[in-house]
Structure 1
Amino acid sequence: MPWMVIFTQIALPVLLLIWLALFPAAGLFSLGLQALSVGAVLSGIGLAALWTMPPYWVPYLYYGVFAVIVAWHLFRSRFSGEGFWRASAGPTTLVLVALGFGCVGGYMAYMAYQGKTVPAVETADIAPPFGPGTYLVAHGGSTNMVNIHLHTLNRSIERFIPWRGQSRAMDIFRISSLGLHKDGWLPSDPARYLTFGTPVLSPCDGAIAKVVDGIEDMKVPDMNRDNMAGNYVAIDCGRFFVIVAHLRQGSIPVQPGDRVETGNPLGEMGNSGNSSEPHLHIHAQRGLPEEAPFGGKPLALTIDGVFPVRNDRIRVKGTVPQ
């Protein structure tokens, strides 16, 4: 939701940095707790939040400002001669409150960082499923903090069973050199998103196993829950299947049974199905059940040997398509 993004990714970090800069605790210990808490919150938000608007480089700006503020306080020796803990009741209370926020931020940062670990499951390595350009991973990684798809691993919830194959999926945006991916704050027209219409390429040599097309692209943020995957293509890569989903209506040039080589066009990124905004969904699975095509055995996915996680950039060299 836009207001949540404004609060968590703009207002909260800025207010914490202003507080640390202008209202530092007096004592060494309390100032250390204050700085530690602010740093933990910034790290937690920076690693766990999805940075598309504001763009991915904004957390690094926060980290830089934080480092300058801490260095300035150390340079001025603001705590010199003030004792181990010297702060009035008001600032002390604020430091303790911030410490609570810091614990939450630290937990978020830890879980997001753990998401970078390649899970101990079978892995499928593929080529980039798109052409030259810069792409941002929106959902990806091995913890729920950075990959929303993992909740469908829960076998105790019956409605997740037909979707278990996509449990280790990635969602990917195309972004500009400045990290932007749309024209405006939250435009409803999917064509105003840089991702929309970007070519999707086969990530492997194989055969087309299944194609679904003809599902309308939704306006943002409407979603089609009756056709969750939207338009999609399933490719039999030999040892595993790869599925690319939420493709643009009418953009798919292949049919079941067609042979494809790595880099052959499969369609275009779109906004069909249960998609809050244009993006590419991609996952690998063992098997392609007839009654539930997304219900195979989920595999971890690497691209050219790299395990992409949330906010990672994937850069493909060459002439960028317009």
Structure 2
Amino acid sequence: MIIYSLLCITLALAVYSLYLLWKAGSRPLAQAFMYLLPGLSLGVFLYLFGTWIYLSLYSKYFFGGCLVLFSASVLVREKRTGQPLPTRWKQGVYLFFTGVFTIASILYFTGTTGKPATVALAFPLKSGRYFVLQGGKGLPTNVFHFTLRGAIYAMDIVKLNKWGGRANRIFSRKLEDYEIFNDTVYAPCDGVVRRAYSNNPDNIPPAMDRGPKNTNQVLLEGATCYFFAAHLKMGSVIVTEGQEVKTGQALGCVGNSGFSTEPHLHMQAHAKEAGVPWYKAKPLYMLFNGKGYLLNEVINAR
């Protein structure tokens, strides 16, 4: 199962990054950097990109605390002389991956798409704490969406329970175990409904079968943009095509229809361009209540 595999990789690499920092702490400072740099760069990368949410958001914070403590220990632990340096080929590997992880961590914040065009919207969910499962400013944080017909700023949102997880277990075949399932989706702006249907069945994880109309969805045409919400629950959409809606009006509920591994809300926004289909128009980076969000960030909507 891919979820278990990704979580195990995150945990294994996290332990290895702490091990490198521990080794750095026992070396003279002149040698410590050969372990400190790869250990710290790997640790920061995992803190930003790791799949902690499959276990709990709090596991990420726990790892972050350990990362700080182990890094500080390099300065205070007793140094042992006579420790051998890593072999030359291992030094090269460490330096290479230090560069890779450092660049990836910088790109987490900057992205690779330059300064994006933005649109201000109200967050379409209202009843708790939410988590950006996929999202960001293009590569490397939004790899999957980057390949989807220009949806480079699309976001996948899940909801956090009181334990900091997105479901009652790491993986479940019960849709009701996922915190966001059946959560109400609200209009993020005033507009006119251009698409609205919810006749596609909800998949049982990990199935990703597309329905007769691919996925249950609502497409809203606002004053300056199109807003698209997908993977909605079967039979939940309560607006009709051509209907005018106001910000905060209920549209439907989160489900697991279409190409989706588990219940979540997919959303994206595009500029309005004459003669251009909405999904081919310029993608917009969504600002919710004035703030943009990146991969693995928490959105408080209480």
TM-score > 0.5 by shorter chain = yes
Q: Do residues 305 (structure 1) and 300 (structure 2) align?
A: no
Partner of 1:7: 8
Residue 175 of structure 1, aligned match among 160, 164, 176: 160
1:225 Cα deviation from its structure 2 partner: 4.3
Residue deviations 1:59-89 (CA, integer Å, cap 9, x gap): 332232232223334223415xx3xxx5326
Question: Cα gap change, 1:273/1:290 in structure 2, threshold over 3 Å: closer, same or farther?
Answer: farther
In the alignment, residue 37 of structure 1 is paired with which amino acid?
P
Provide the C-alpha distance between the structure 2 equivalents of 1:191 and 1:287, rounded to a whole number of angstroms. Answer: 37
Change (3 A) 1:150 1:119: farther
Shift of 1:170: 1.1
Change (3 A) 1:147 1:256: same
Give, in angstroms, the shift of residue 227 of structure 1: 6.0
In structure 1, C-alpha distance between the alignment counterparts of 2:274 and 2:57, rounded to whole Å: 38
- State the shift of 1:173 in Å: 0.6
Matches within 5 A, 1:1-322: 1-21=2-22, 24=25, 26-78=27-79, 82=81, 86-88=82-84, 97-115=93-111, 119-152=114-147, 163-164=149-150, 166-225=151-210, 230-287=215-272, 294-317=279-302
Q: Are the aligned partners of 2:24 and 2:33 in contact in 1 as well (CA < 8 Å)?
A: no
Q: Work out the CA distance in 1 between the residues paired with 2:263 and 2:245.
A: 25
Is the CA contact (8 Å cut-off) linking 1:42 and 1:59 kept in structure 2? no
Local SS of the residue matching 1:284: strand
The whole-number CA distance in structure 2 between the counterparts of 1:292 and 1:228 is 18
Percent pairwise identity: 26
Q: Deviations over 1:176-205 (max 9, x none)?
A: 233211111211222211111111011111
| 2:291 partner SS | coil
Residue 241 of structure 1 deviates from its aligned partner by: 1.3
CA 2–95 in structure 1, closer or farther in 2 if over 3 Å, else same: farther
Amino acid at match of 1:196: F
Counterpart CA distance in 2 for 1:266 and 1:67 is: 44
Opposite residue 142 of structure 1, the aligned amino acid is K
How far, CA to CA, are the matches of 1:273 and 1:54 in structure 2? Answer: 25
The 1:22/1:151 distance shift into structure 2, 3 A limit, reads closer
Distance 1:143 1:51, change over 3 A: farther
Alignment-mate amino acid for residue 270 of structure 1: G
Q: Give CA deviations for 1:2-25 in whole Å, capped at 9, x if unaligned.
A: 343233311111133135326755
Q: In 2, Cα distance between the equivalents of 1:35 and 1:67?
A: 12
| 1:248 to 1:222, Cα distance in 2 relative to 1, 3 A | same
For the residues of structure 1 that align with 2:200 and 2:278, how far apart are their CA atoms? Answer: 17
Query: What SS does the aligned partner of 1:61 have?
Result: helix
| TM-score, normalization by structure 2 | 0.88
User: Shift in Å at residue 94 of structure 1?
Assistant: 5.5
Unaligned runs of 5+ in 1: 153-159, 318-322
Deviation at 1:295, TM superposition (A): 3.2
Change (3 A) 1:291 1:89: closer
Q: 1:267 to 1:290 in 2, by over 3 A?
A: farther
Paired amino acid for 1:111: L
Moved more, 222-231 or 211-220: 222-231
The CA distance in 1 between the partners of 2:274 and 2:9, in whole Å, is 41
RMSD: 2.8
Under a length normalisation based on structure 1, what TM-score does the superposition of the two structures give? 0.83
Size of the aligned set, in residue pairs, is 301
Distance 1:273 1:292, change over 3 A: farther
Aligned CA distance change for structure 1 residues 177 and 119 (closer, same or farther; 3 Å) = farther
